[in-house]
């Protein structure tokens, strides 16, 4: 399957999330069945990411958004573990600080955009300012409505001025799956640190958030920074589909190892000379 095609939010088209099945899992019936394909795409990501880092001519920004419990942290882990940490950075965007609130809403994200050769992953992002801000009426409607255009222009700037490809994932889970994941946090000591009473309060705003996500997807999926809706009830399928899209995107960037900056024949001569001198044998 081509998940880039299947899960793409087509620019100019209006989607309803109710048309998507968050429990969809493609042709695979289990994590075990998907493991070979996942391993293939993770290996592909690993090779291409290292090559892109060496190439140093293009950048990739990966945006992860989803309602609480959708698996942004888990996706981050599975994406990063396939990459060389040298060329990757992850930024999580929480509640804005006073200094951030005193500036324009894009100020805090711009400094974390990737430089050429890098991959940057945003765990939450600039879209919080048209999601949380809208859902909780933190700013007037005319303010958050204007932000869609600001976001599109900022993403266009990264694409046009710094050769930054942007791919954005909305991790879509059902309301029932969210509640089950909250229960898993309660039962697992390794996850209890993630528990917040606010998680249950926010569930009251589920429908408001769905409408806010739909508006962000519909207004801000562009040819240069597309959105993908990822069915995420099954964590293994979420990881598989995200990995395929990232691998295929990196392949399309067509990175190449840079040419050496030294005379390889001369360096080879120096190597043989040093080896003969230090070992007493010719190489």
Domain spanning 3-279, CATH class: alpha beta
Instruction: Express each pLDDT in 70-101 by its tens digit.
Output: 999 999 988 888 999 999 999 999 889 999 99
- Edge-to-edge strand list for the sheet holding 88-92: 88-92, 119-123, 59-66, 164-172, 227-231
Contact 213, 131 (CB under 8 A): yes
Beta bridge partners of 167: 62
Which 3-state string (H, E, C) describes 44-106? HHHHHHHHHHHHCCCEEEEEEEECCCCCHHHHHHHHHCCCCHHHEEEEECCCCCHHHHCCCCC
Q: Return the structure tokens found at 265.
A: 């024949």
**What is the C-alpha to C-alpha distance for residues 240 and 234, in angstroms, rounded to an integer?**
10
**Angle formed by the axes of helices 72-80 and 235-253, nearest 10°:** 50
Contact call for residues 151 and 126 (beta carbons, < 8 A): yes
Check if the beta carbon of residue 66 is closer than 8 Å to that of residue 232. Answer: yes
User: Are 120 and 59 a contacting pair, CB within 8 Å?
Assistant: yes
- Of the CA atoms within 13 Å of residue 271, those in its CB half-sphere come to 7
Q: What is d(CA 80, CA 74) in angstroms, rounded to the nearest whole number?
A: 10
Q: Identify the DSSP state of 123.
A: E
- What b/e string do you get for 203-240 counting C-beta neighbours within 10 Å, with b at 16 or more? beeeeebbebbbbbbbbbbbeebbbbbbbbbbbbbbbb
Show pLDDT as tens, one digit a residue, over the chain (283 residues): 899 999 999 998 999 999 999 999 999 999 999 999 999 999 999 999 999 999 999 999 999 999 999 999 999 988 888 999 999 999 999 889 999 999 999 999 999 999 999 999 999 999 999 998 888 888 889 999 999 999 999 999 999 999 999 999 999 999 999 999 999 998 888 888 888 888 888 899 999 999 999 999 999 999 999 999 999 999 999 999 999 999 999 999 999 999 998 888 898 998 888 888 888 777 6
239-243, Cβ contacts within 8 angstroms, sequence gap of 24 or more: 239/38, 239/74, 239/75, 239/78, 240/26, 240/28, 240/34, 240/37, 240/38, 240/41, 241/3, 241/7, 241/26, 242/75, 242/78, 242/79, 242/169, 243/38, 243/41, 243/42, 243/45, 243/78, 243/79, 243/82
Burial class from Cβ neighbours inside 10 Å (0-12, 13-18, 19+) for residue 131 reads buried
């Amino acid at each position: 399957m081509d998940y880039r095609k299947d899960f793409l939010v087509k620019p100019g088209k209006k989607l309803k999330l109710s048309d998507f099945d968050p429990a969809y899992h493609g042709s695979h019936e289990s994590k075990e069945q998907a493991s070979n394909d996942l391993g293939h795409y993770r290996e592909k990501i690993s090779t291409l990411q290292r090559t892109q880092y060496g190439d140093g001519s293009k950048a990739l920004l990966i945006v992860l958004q989803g309602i609480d419990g959708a698996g942004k942290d888990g996706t981050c882990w599975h994406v990063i573990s396939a990459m060389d940490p040298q060329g990757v950075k992850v930024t999580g965007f929480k509640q804005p600080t006073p200094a951030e609130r005193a500036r324009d809403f894009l100020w805090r994200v711009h400094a974390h955009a990737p430089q050429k050769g890098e991959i940057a992953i945003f765990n939450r992002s600039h879209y919080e300012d048209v999601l949380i801000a809208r859902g909780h009426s933190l700013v007037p409607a005319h303010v958050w409505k204007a932000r869609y255009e600001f976001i599109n222009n900022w993403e266009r700037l990264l694409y046009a001025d710094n050769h930054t490809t942007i791919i954005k994932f909305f991790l879509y889970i059902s309301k029932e799956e969210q509640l089950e994941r909250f229960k898993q946090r309660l039962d697992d000591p390794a996850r209890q640190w993630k528990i917040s009473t606010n998680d249950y309060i926010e569930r009251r705003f589920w429908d408001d958030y769905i409408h806010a996500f739909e508006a962000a997807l519909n207004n801000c999926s562009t040819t240069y920074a597309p959105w993908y809706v990822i069915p995420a009830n099954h964590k293994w399928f979420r990881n598989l589909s995200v990995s395929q899209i990232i691998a295929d995107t990196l392949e399309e960037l067509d990175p190449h190892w840079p040419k050496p900056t030294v005379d390889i024949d001369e360096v080879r001569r120096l190597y043989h000379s040093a080896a003969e001198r230090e070992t007493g044998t010719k190489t």
